[in-house]
Amino acid sequence: MTEELFRDDAALLQCRARVLAADAQGVRLDRTVFYPQGGGQAGDAGVLQLDDGRVLQVVDTRKGDAPGEILHLLAEGTDLAGLAPGCELTACIDETRRRAHMRFHTATHLLCALVPHAVNGCSITERYARLDFHMHEPLDREQLTQGIARLVAEAHPVRHHWIGEDELDANPQLVRSMSVQPPRGQGRIRVLEIGGVDLQPCGGTHVANTADIGAVVVTKVEKKSAMTRRVILGFAETS
């Protein structure tokens, strides 16, 4: 198991960690700031700094087969010398890439608040985010862009907290106010709350305030099928 530091502090850019194992599949660490691809959000890239001065490129981060397993994928042909189990190193994420993921990811929550329909697809990358809504009504690109801009300007705090399944059972109104049903069976659920705007279970990384999303625009609205409307977000051009 890897301690997932990014779950409680998305602003952490680096951490000291110990190697659990390293092979062609990837590097497993006892703790990490690298978010593994999941929940629609792309994995982190970055570097592993070895204490002998070598710097290894991490090109992507994925979940492994075992529960809680996180694989740091190294560039092809990387020499694994110096990555023996127990070795200490510093794991650093690519800040620019993660920052884009956090801004887009938080913006998709705003979109969920503006479009009250079920989401049946989501992809968050460094350059764009897309969300598929299960609906047949048309969506207006300009109206959505303005709605996002308003929620960004209102500077709502973004917080997460953990709740137990028993707490959820004792507060059925919480489930009703969530746009997504929480996953069951793991004992606790991570809930993302944008005060008065959106509340839903989410394990991704987000900015701390909607103001930090900055200038995001809806670049495209597409009719993917009779019952799917796709919304694509991009960063507004800034000089």
Contacting positions for Zn ion (CB under 5 A) = 192, 202, 204
Shortest distance, CB of residue 140 to Zn ion, whole angstroms?
24
Smaller CB separation from Zn ion, 139 or 191: 191
Smaller CB separation from Zn ion, 42 or 192: 192
Residue 21, both tokens: 């194992």
Nearest C-alpha neighbor of 185 from the set 164, 161, 162: 164
d(CA 194, CA 189): 16
Smaller CB separation from Zn ion, 93 or 192: 192
Nearest C-alpha neighbor of 110 from the set 4, 29, 209: 209
d(CA 44, CA 71): 11
d(CA 103, CA 108): 9
Shortest distance, CB of residue 131 to Zn ion, whole angstroms?
11
Shortest distance, CB of residue 18 to Zn ion, whole angstroms?
29
Shortest distance, CB of residue 208 to Zn ion, whole angstroms?
13
> Nearest residue to Zn ion, using CB?
202
52-58, long-range: CB < 8 A, 24+ apart: 52/82, 54/82, 56/83, 58/27, 58/34, 58/91
Using only C-alpha atoms, the chain has a radius of gyration, in whole angstroms, of 19
Shortest distance, CB of residue 41 to Zn ion, whole angstroms?
8
d(CA 73, CA 226): 39
Smaller CB separation from Zn ion, 105 or 229: 105
Smaller CB separation from Zn ion, 28 or 99: 99
